Amino acid sequence: MALTRRQLLIVLLLRRRLKAKEVEVRRKKECWVRRLYTERTEKGEYHQLVREMKIFDKEYFFQHFRMGPEKFEEILSYVAPKITKCSVRREPIGPSERLCVTLRYLVTGDAQTTIAASYRMSRSSVSRIIKETSDALWSGLMDNGYLKAPEKESDWLAIADDFERKWNFGNCIGAIDGKHVIMQAPARSGSQFFNYKKSHSIVLMAIVNANYEFILVDIGEAGRQSDGGVFSHSNLGIAFEQKLLKIPKPRALPGSSKKFPFVLVGDEAFPLKDYLVKPYSRDSFQIKEKIANYRISRARRQVENVFGICASRFRIFRRPIIANVETVISVTKAVVAVHNYLMAGRRFGENQDYYWDQHSDERVATDAIEVKGGLLPLMRAGSNNYSKSAKEIRDDFRDYFCSEEGSVPWQWETVLRTRDPFDEH
């Protein structure tokens, strides 16, 4: 016997009520929070190991978080107002513990489930804490001047003076390079983040100064742009192309009456521009070009050193990051911010955990020679076409480096070695 429409609606409503009661009974049986999580304040890593390290073993604390307890407390003062939570139902996770979770993730690159088990938290809580604290690190350190972009001509002149004093390259306002930050394939992203190494990534484009500090970064470009338009389509490329950064006017270098423009130095992946100098091609190598390439690479390696230091200190860059795109961008920004914060302390003679290159007067991170795992180099960031003026600017620097006024005592011996010095950098 067929049911009428009204009888059918009644049956469906009864089934829905019965199903709702079953869900309610199931929820009552489930615990609101796991028993392991309720013991966080008694057995969690923060409340046991971390607090003991702060008091009794500062060296182990440094190895654990790549900074001493004093630096940790200082950086906590910058981010605490942004990550402090309030709750009436249960005691919230404090800002100090949130910072520990985030730094531990950046330093080790461990899975979020592993950190969650150590700190007696849920994986979802750890994921949320990492994202929020990473954003707070970026904004908090920026507010306190550790991520300050040059705003006037005097700022650029100070950077150029540092490059001239430390790396013998006058009128250099920064070393530029880019890396692919490898991550897991984002959901429903297609080939948008699929790069030339057949992995998924975002692009970190950076300009650094002579003190191993980031001065300008562009983070988040899809890894699919692995050639051609990476630099020209980035915010950095647009800013330099449209002259939005208040770069000083050309000035003469020491011992020369000729005025030279202020330039960036990059590797072969970048286009030759009026504001960007890169090494000569090896197809037609003469002694002058070898000298110029040595001097360019000597200044340019600062950006490679910065990436090496970051990968050595923050092991999150040693393997693909398992997170969504927004979190990967936030984590990358946090690494940049904390790196600048710690490098600022280096200028005041504080000890750091680097492996230094003993073949240089300046201490350099040898890990920067080649970074593997979670950071990949860009392919080609521009075409081989360049203007006549860009070629003349590079030739002028070449002639100056080979002149009596612009040469350095050791460059001839270095270049005339059997092994190509350009391969060393």
67 exposure class (CB count in 10 Å sphere: 0-12, 13-18, 19+): buried
Which tokens in the block code for residue 313?
């200190």
pTM, full prediction: 0.85
Question: What is the dihedral sign for C-alpha 383, 317, 363, 166?
Answer: positive
- For tokens 């009428």, name the residue: 4
d(CA 233, CA 43): 50
Instruction: Answer whether 128's CB lies under 8 Å from 324's CB.
Output: no
Which tokens in the block code for residue 385?
């076409």
Question: Who's near 124: CB < 8 A, 6+ residues apart?
Answer: none
Residue 18 confidence (pLDDT) = 83
* Residue-wise burial string across 380-415, b where 16 or more C-beta atoms lie within 10 A, e elsewhere: bbbeeebeeebeebbebbbebbbeeebbeeebeeeb
Neighbours of 53 (CB within 10 A): 18
- For tokens 């500090």, name the residue: 213
301 exposure class (CB count in 10 Å sphere: 0-12, 13-18, 19+): buried
Instruction: Answer whether 376's CB lies under 8 Å from 197's CB.
Output: yes
Residue 177 confidence (pLDDT) = 93
Angstrom CA distances, 111 to 71, 108, 315, stand at: 25, 9, 12
d(CA 66, CA 314): 8
Instruction: Answer whether 272's CB lies under 8 Å from 292's CB.
Output: no
Residue 304 confidence (pLDDT) = 93
Q: Which of 317, 406, 314 is nearest to 102 (CA)?
A: 314
Residue 197 confidence (pLDDT) = 83
Question: Who's near 34: CB < 8 A, 6+ residues apart?
Answer: 122
Q: Which of 249, 234, 253, 228 is nearest to 170 (CA)?
A: 253
Which tokens in the block code for residue 31?
């615990």
H helices within 262-387, ranges in order? 287-313, 325-346
Residue 276 confidence (pLDDT) = 95
pLDDT, one tens digit for every residue, the chain (425 residues): 566 777 778 888 888 888 887 766 665 555 566 778 888 888 899 998 998 998 899 999 999 999 999 999 999 999 999 999 887 677 889 999 999 999 999 999 999 999 999 999 999 999 999 999 999 999 999 999 999 899 999 999 999 999 999 999 999 999 999 999 999 999 888 888 888 888 999 999 999 999 999 999 999 888 887 555 678 888 899 999 999 999 999 999 998 999 999 999 999 889 899 999 999 987 767 889 999 999 999 999 999 999 999 999 999 999 999 999 999 999 999 999 999 999 987 655 555 444 333 334 344 444 444 555 788 887 766 556 678 899 999 999 999 999 999 999 998 888 887 555 455 55
Q: Please tell me the total number of residues recorded for the chain in this structure.
A: 425
Q: How far from chain centre, in Å, is Cα 93? A: 27
Angstrom CA distances, 367 to 312, 356, 357, stand at: 7, 9, 9
3-state secondary structure of 102: helix
Neighbours of 310 (CB within 10 A): 27
Angstrom CA distances, 255 to 30, 170, 249, 251, 270, stand at: 80, 11, 18, 12, 30
Residue 118 confidence (pLDDT) = 93
Residue 108 confidence (pLDDT) = 94
Which tokens in the block code for residue 192?
């948008």
Count Cα atoms within 13 angstroms, Cβ side, for 72: 24
- For tokens 């030739």, name the residue: 395
Angstrom CA distances, 192 to 83, 222, 226, 269, stand at: 32, 6, 11, 21
